[in-house]
Chains A and B, each alone.
Chain A
């Protein structure tokens, strides 16, 4: 195909009616404090990883709530789990457990069966 210098952008509509919100409900059972989040972004402001890159916990949180899992696992791998976000959260959300459980949910990471 000839390169016209233009391309067709992917639609960026998020259809909340068809979005997978089950994942967030499941997560809330493990981390009930996740429901308290008010998206203030304090976690992102203090983040050690966000100091180096565009990693953004608030964004990951919103993506997960809406069921947009594309590329989310790779994004979450940037986190160092240092836990600063947990200490600054004004709503006492256990953000560290939040990220940990999101990552477990999105992947095949599991307990090793060695025995």
Chain B
């Protein structure tokens, strides 16, 4: 499984990479924002997207909308991993087509469950 991690903070990308490693996922590509991630999606075969919400250049929610509106990317499971824990944010992400939503801080078990549920949701 090839995972695209999108977060402007390198620390959080490292944390997510470490957590993925703990659950047996080692193939990871990183992007600092949605714009950079969209470019990578044109070149790479991605099986799962894990994205932050608040990022410069292109936010996670705009990146999510862009992914879900394109035929080539709409079936890729998309998990939002963010500090945005308010109901309004979660509802906006759900309306925009997010496949699962995790509020930071999170445990490896929580991420693993979210990955399984997101894959189920898109039928993978």
Does A pair with B?
A: no
Q: Which residues of B contact A (CB under 8 A)?
A: none
